[in-house]
Structure 1
Amino acid sequence: MPKSITSASTNSEIEGLRDLLENEEVRYVSKGYGLISASLLTFSFFFILPELLFPYYSTLPYTDKFIMFAWGPIIIHTAMVLVSNLMMFGIYKSNLGFFERYKITSDPWPWQSNYEEFKEKFWTTMKTLLINDLIIMPLSAIIPALFDTAKLETDPLYYPSSFELIWSIIFFMIVEDTVFYWIHRLLHTRFFYKNIHKKHHEYNITISIAAEYAHPIEFIFGNLIPTSVGPLLLGGRCHVVTWYLWMIIRILETTDGHCGYEFSWSPFRLLPLSGSANYHNFHHAHNIGNFASFFTYWDTIFSTNKHYWRYLAKQEKEA
C-alpha cells in the first residue's frame, strides 16, 4: 500500500477519534441538570423496578416455558411499542415549548409540512407496524418456544440481582450494537437497500413510529435477531426477567433514537461513547453513515461517521 494512502487512512482514524472524544465532552456538558434526571431514571430502573416486580413475578406460571418464552415477550413488546408511541404522541400534540426546545431540526414535522401526505403515510405505517408487531414478532417468539430452544432461567429462586441485571444488559447492548452495525451496513448495499431497507428510509425526518417501520425481512434480521443474540449467548445464565427488561430498554432506546428530540434527561445518553437522537436523525436525513444503535465506536473505527463529524463542524462554524 502506498505510504500516502496509509498516512491518509491513519490521519482519518485519528481525526475520527478526536471528534468522538470532543463530542463526548460536549454531549455531557450540554445535558446540564438533565444528567441528574437521567441518573435517577437509570437507578430506578435497575435498583427499584426489579424489587417492585418480584412479588408479581412470583405469582406467574414460571414453570410453563411456553407462556414465559412466547406470551411474555409478545405482551411486553406490544405494550412497550404502544406506550412509548402514545407518550410521544402526547408530546408532539402538546407542542409545548418545554419539549420543543429539544427538537433536533428546525424543519417542520411531517404533519405540519404536508398533512395529507403524512396522513397517507401514517396509515401505511400503521399497517406495517401491525404486520411486524402482531404477526412477525409473535411468530418469532412462539416458534422457538414450541421447539423449546430458549434455555433461560425462570425460577424465582434465581431472580436476578440489580448488579446481575446491569452486567447482563451491558453485555446485551455491546452484542446488539455489533450485530446491528454490520447488518445495517449490509442493508445499505445497493440490492438490500433498494429491495428492503428503503422502506425504513421513507422517513427522512425521524418520528417515533418510524422506529419499527420496516420491511418484515428487515424487522426480523435488523431488529429481532440483534436484540436476541445476547440473551441466547448467555442461555441459562440469563434469567427471563433480565430478557424482559432488556426488551423494554431496546424498545425505549429505538423510540428515543427516532423521536426527533434530543432530550437532556434521556438515560441512554449516560452511556460512554453512545449515539444520540441527533446522531441517528443525521442518518435518516442524509442517508449515509452512523450505522450503529447504542454506541459510536464501530462507526468511528471504520470511519462511517466521518460525514456526521464534518456536518457538526460546519454547523459550529455557521453558528
Structure 2
Amino acid sequence: MKKRDCRTYLPAEWAPQSGIMLTWPHRHTDWASDLTNVEACYLELAYHICRYQKLLIVCFDHAHKKHIKQILKEKNVALEQVRLALAPSNDTWTRDHGPITVLCQQDITLLDFRFNGWGDKYASDLDHAITATLYHQQALGDTVLEPVDMVLEGGSIEVDGSGTLLTTRDCLLAPTRNPKLSQQQIEQKLIQWFGLNRVLWLGHGYLDGDDTDSHIDILARFCDRETIAYTHCDDKSDPHYKELNAMETELRGLRSITDQPYRLVPLPWPAAKYDDAGNRLAASYANFLVVNGAVIIPGYNDPA
C-alpha cells in the first residue's frame, strides 16, 4: 500500500455512498436458464437503488447495454441515476469481484483484490478483470485504483467502520485462495489494507448450497459498532441447527470495541428453498444491501 499522511480505513456499509455497482445477468452466466425471472429481480433492485443514489451497471457488450437501457426505461427506473459501462463478465456477484473502497480523510482509493471464483470453483477470468476494465474506461471516475496481489471477496469481510473486521476461517483460510499465507499473515494484511485494530474470526456457520466457503455476508452483519444481526436457525430438525447455534455461541463470546457484549439480533430462518434439481439453496436474510437511506433485503417469497 502506498504511504499516506493519514490513516487509511475501510468504512462500514452504512457510510455515505456515491453509488452502487451491479454486474447485470446475461445469457453467458449461470442465470441463462431462468434469465427472464432473474432480470425481473435485477430490475426491481435497480429501481429501488436509484430511488436513493446513483447506479453503475456493468454490461456484457453493446447489444446487452442497449437491451438493459430499454428494460430500465420500461420499468421507469430513474435513468438520470444510471451509468452503463462495458465489461464482459463470467457471472454477476459484484460484491465479490468489484473494487473495495478505502478512505484516507477525503482521499478515496479503490482496492482491486484478486478474484478466483471462490477458490477456483468457477471460471472467473472476466470477473477478475472487470474493475481494471472499468477503471481504464474512466467509468470509476478519477479515483485512484490500487491492485492487490491477494485473493479476497467483498462478501467475505464485514467491518464496523471503527477498526473491527468480522470474517470466517472456512473462507479466508481455504487452501484454494491464499495457500501460502497463514491466518496470522492474512490478518496482518487485512489490518494493513483496511486500517483495522483487530480481526474477529468465526469458526462455525454455514449454509447448504453456498459456494463461497461460508462468506460472512450470509451469516453475520454489523448494524452498528455495537450490534450484529445474524442468521439464526430455530428449527431443531434442520441440518443447520447445530452449526448455526454454535456460531451464535461464538458471537455471544465476542466483545465490541467498547469491550461490551454485542447486541445480537437473530434474523428469521427462511423456509428451505431448492433449485430445479432438488438442491437446497443458500437462503439468508443476512445477505442484505445497505444504500443511502434504506436497506434492501432478499424476500424469498417467504412470510418470515
| TM-score bin, normalised by smaller chain | under 0.3
Report 1 or 2 for greater relative contact order, CA contacts < 8 Å, sequence distance ≥ 6: 1
Normalised by the length of structure 1, the TM-score is 0.22
Normalised by the length of structure 2, the TM-score is 0.23
Kindly indicate which of the two structures has a greater share of residues assigned to helix: 1
Kindly indicate which of the two structures has a greater share of residues assigned to strand: 2
In our comparison, the structure showing a higher alpha carbon Rg is 1
